[in-house]
Amino acid sequence: MTVRALPICPPTLTLAPEATVAEAMSMMIQREVNHIPLCTADGRFAGLISSNAILRALIPASARAEHGVENLNFLGDAMPMLLDHLRDNADRPVRDLADADVMAVRQDTHLLEAAHHLSRTTAPLPVVNEDGKLLGMLSRRMLLTYLLDKARTA
Amino acid sequence: MHGAAHNATEVIWGLSPLIVALTIFVLTYAVIVTERINRAIVALIGAGVMILTGVLHQNEAFAGIDFNTIGLLTGMMVIVAITQKSGVFQYVAVKAAKLVKADPWGLMVMLALVTALFSALLDNVTTVLLIAPVALLITDALRINPYPYLFAIIFASNIGGTATLIGDPPNIMIGSAVGLTFNDFAFNLAPVALVILALTMIPLWWFWGRKLSAEQDARDQVMAFDENEAITDVKLLKQALAVIALTITGFVFAHSIGLEPATIAMFGAALLLLLRAMGHDAEHQTEQVHKSFAEVEWVTIFFFVGLFVVVAGVEKAGALKIAADTLVHFTGGELALTAYVILWASAIISAVVDNIPFVATMIPVIQNLGPVVGAENLNTLWWSLALGACLGGNGSLVGASANLVVAGFAERAGAPIRFLPFMLAAFPLMLASIAVSSLYVGWRYL
């Protein structure tokens, strides 16, 4: 079985890579989603922006870098710093914060492989065609629904 | 084993041991400088080839490894790996920042002092690995450019490391090979290191310090930091500080009770491991000990092992005697000129290449100078070598491992340090510190 078996719908929610982080945040809040795929004008998949990546940009860089400060308790709530970082990031293009190396799958990807990818991240899987155009997003629930159906009918 | 007799019959195909050893030596160092292959691998391959080609027997190779250096480094690394878990380094940095009311220039002075002090008592790499993230955190909260602080931390770590036997690998190697004690280093190098640190702050103030300012609300934010919250494990903190105090006391008195630094450091490490293990079951103990050992920088340790063998090879082949003779020929064996040449050449070479292989090579060269300058004058040359090699590390980003560690972290945290701008400021500042060292060597020893 491949990803083709699943009811992948064209994406209703996308952002241009040039859109601002502020726009991405409002869209996430309004539409109650945590991930938005980025698409170029001709429909090519260009990364995935997540609420997690935005939050990561708000905590101090010295804490998110490898071998950084692990315990931030001593900073108190540091509200001014968080708000500073929010302001600094609001006007940046989303592509700066998007996961560049996010895995995208094709329609001929086997379901096991798709399940393997999905099990290792919290994001849905972008499905693209041969030209790199975004066909839709494959969610965990979509895959589980399909598998459950199969198990019942088998 | 200095100036040991050549044993040409052992070298493969009857080649000259001098040529074979020198070829291996030059190739090893050339590949190390390119940084294309991990330096520990290169050193170990070089060491292996020294033995495989018959330049050295395995016994001679082992004899060439300075286990005093290896033991001291490994022991201190274990102690620091365990201690850092307590959060004490963050505590000190935050406390220091608050002591100066989060004033930007005051912060730079305090971070430099803290870094220099820790670098003098622990190894530089560990010190900057712990201080640089906190420095970035505080400058982030102050909304000021972190670069001047990272620059100051790099300089302070190399200057602080110069001050003591255990502060910087070149000192560990020199002390171990020559039998100079912790107190010898403290009496001879700490005073000049302190002066250089103080003088270094003047250009730093001129370049950056006088122009730095932070808004009051940003400073209030730093003043609201609670350093006590940085301490994650009070019991561990007490144990670690007790062992470190005991270890440093041990270094101070080691010589007078006939002990070497490696014994003190390794025993300190074992003691701290014991304190951590007590009251835990076997499985937990195994895991804890395993984790502590895993944090030892084995790449550095094996790099040392390989280098010691490579240097032992060229020494046995007589190359270092020739190097020493050349140096004497050049300086006419005059003590003052020899000292200054060693000081300045070490500084400039250490600015562009790793100072560890350089010092490993220079130690036997200087030992060979004993008959020329007089054994009683050799210490002048050791202090010149130590000052040049340690302070020279400030000359460029690749001059010392600590510099690279700071640069690496800064890059990951989005505040990269560029090679050339750093060198344009750092190299002249390093030369100034060597000028001060020259005055010091001239005034005190010549």
> pLDDT tens across B122-149, in order?
878 878 888 999 999 999 999 999 999 9
pLDDT at B5 over 80: no
Three-state SS for A137?
A: strand
At B35 the pLDDT is 76
Interface contact flag, B140 A61, Cβ < 8 Å:
yes
pLDDT at B1 over 90: no
| Identity of the highest mean pLDDT range in B47-56, B361-370, B401-410 | B47-56
Average pLDDT over residues B174-179: 90
Interface contact flag, B227 A74, Cβ < 8 Å:
yes
In this prediction, the answer to ipTM > 0.90 reads: no
Interface contact flag, B137 A60, Cβ < 8 Å:
yes
Q: Which residues of B touch A71 (CB under 8 A)?
A: 87, 90, 229-230, 232
Please give the model's pTM, rounded to 2 decimal places: 0.83
Q: Which residues of chain A have pLDDT under 50?
A: none
Interface contact flag, B229 A65, Cβ < 8 Å:
no
Three-state SS for B244?
A: helix
Query: How many interchain CB pairs under 8 A, A with B?
Result: 70
Average pLDDT over residues B418-434: 94
Q: By mean pLDDT, which of A16-20, A85-89, B166-170, B427-431 is the weakest?
A: B166-170
% of chain B exceeding 90 in pLDDT: 63
Helices B335-352 and B319-331 sit at what angle, rounded to 10 degrees?
A: 120
Average pLDDT over residues B78-95: 90
At A149 the pLDDT is 93
Mean pLDDT, rounded, of chain B:
90
Helices B67-83 and B169-178 sit at what angle, rounded to 10 degrees?
A: 140
What are the start-end ranges of the H helices in B35-146? 39-52, 58-64, 67-83, 88-99, 104-121, 124-142
Distance of CA B35 to the CA centre of its chain: 19
Rounded-to-integer distance, Cα B25 and Cα B12, Å:
16
Quickly tell me which residue has 């001047």 as its tokens.
Answer: B148
pLDDT at B94 over 80: yes
| Identity of the highest mean pLDDT range in B182-191, B245-254, B256-265, B326-335 | B182-191
Residue B6: pLDDT band by 50, 70, 90 thresholds?
A: very low
Residue B310: pLDDT band by 50, 70, 90 thresholds?
A: very high
Take residue B242 and report the two structure tokens written for it: 């007790």
pLDDT at B438 over 90: yes
Chain A residue whose CA is closest to B140: A60
Mutation for A interface: B80, B412, B417, most A CBs within 10 A: B412
At A21 the pLDDT is 97
Phi, psi of A50 (to 5 degrees): -125, 155
Question: DSSP letter at B24?
Answer: H
| Amino acid (1-letter code) at residue B131 | I
pLDDT at B3 over 70: no
Three-state SS for A38?
A: strand
| Facing B141 at nearest CB: one of A71, A73, A81 | A81
Take residue B387 and report the two structure tokens written for it: 């000052």
